[in-house]
Homo-oligomer: A and B are copies of this chain.
């Protein structure tokens, strides 16, 4: 640790890792699936915790009828209720920094594939296991315990520190949009997504799509009298795989500063078909197939142009098939529609966070673009708030069985966030 300033040292020493793990455990135990009642319960839990921390806390019912009219609104799930939660600390005479984290999580999937029950936090091998431990209740815990350490060390921030706890990130970002539109913006924001503690001034876009492939039913014993939607899906799948290869090869040829942040990835703009549903009866030729996927979009790429490129790839493949030419497959854009976003790599927020990380770890910070869609785009594009992604854990462990986060990462992230707040907001 290269931190010599006594105030900074006091804050770092005040970090309560045991408390952080207990808080994270409580939060993992609330199954805050998108649109389910746990999403509200998790927000109520965080709001109460922030109150006890001595923050001014803004808690409000999100008006979805209103929100849905905004052009950046995107959601896959119908919600009856949703809460916004923002805790505010500091005096407000200096710059405003935001820590943003979401409480919503994806489903647990096949629970038999989990080493430990997904809906309780289990500590093993230096990791916290559980659905949401990584994505991203862990990061949110770091943000809150960084703020608690500042308070516990008796430090008053000159600027303001906002802790935004949001819902709906996994299904399109409605919570952060509502928070930004309520006026909770700032001079800088850190979305505490699992970046492996790398600093990401860029976030790729990700668009959900649905592909509907028509067939014609027939008894399986005369299958040649029908048209299998499963069979007809194959060339379309190949066309999408080819499109992904072409787009990523083209991206590798670009040499601008943002593109350089994506050098590490073999497929920065992945096209993933995650769901396929076809047919109803083993011995009936499948008359429809529905595939759902996510489509990666490069920073700076126009969303409409990207959508058109996919639609054209599907249409071209359909033209090559006599049945599909007459019965064209349809493409729908639904659910998460994540625009890309970026800020300059030399922005003060980036520099401050990088230095805080380096001082915490005695290792240089790594700057990198992230390939997943996240709420950064809403803070940058709608909230006009320079934003980075920075947080503990490896996204490779997200959205799968045995989701987990290293306790060592939680410690480094909390220290880095605390130092960044002290330096970005200033001390009163």
Contact = CB atoms under 8 A, between A and B. Distances in A.
A280 interface: yes
A280 B109 contact: yes
Contacts of A222: 265, 267, 270, 371-372, 395-396
Interface in A220-252: 220-226, 228, 230, 234, 237
Contacts of A204: 221
B286 A372 contact: no
Contacts of A237: 230, 234
A272 B285 contact: yes
Interface in A89-145: 106-107, 109-110, 113
A302 to B, nearest CB: 20
B272 A106 contact: no
Contact of A267 (B224, B292, B396): B224
A11 interface: no
Nearest to A288: B110
Contacts of A293: 220, 282-283
Interface in A275-330: 275-289, 292-294, 296
Contacts of A275: 278-282, 286
Contact of A399 (B217, B276, B277, B336): B217
10 contacts: A219-B396, A220-B294, A221-B371, A224-B267, A226-B400, A230-B276, A272-B285, A273-B286, A274-B285, A275-B278
List the 4 shortest-distance A-B pairs measured between CB atoms, nearest first: A220-B272, A283-B294, A221-B372, A217-B400
Interface size, A (range): 35 or more
A335 interface: yes
Given A219-B399, A277-B276, A400-B219, A282 B230 contact: no
A274 B267 contact: no
Interface string A397-425: 01111000000000000000000000000
Given A106-B284, A222-B395, A282-B335, 9 more contacts: A107-B281, A216-B400, A217-B401, A219-B400, A221-B294, A221-B373, A226-B400, A282-B293, A284-B399
B284 A400 contact: yes
A256 to B, nearest CB: 21
A107 B287 CA distance: 14
A195 interface: no
A266 interface: yes
A206 interface: yes
A176 interface: no
A29 interface: no
A399 to B, nearest CB: 4
Nearest to A222: B396
A343 interface: no
Contacts of A399: 217-220, 281, 283-284
A401 B276 CA distance: 22
A274 B270 contact: no
A398 B107 contact: no
A339 to B, nearest CB: 15
Contact of A208 (B219, B280, B282): B282
B274 A218 contact: no
Contacts of A398: 219
A387 to B, nearest CB: 18
Nearest to A229: B276
Nearest to A107: B280
B287 A220 contact: no
Contact of A400 (B218, B265, B289, B372): B218
A234 B240 CA distance: 14
Contacts of A279: 273-276, 292
B296 A396 contact: no
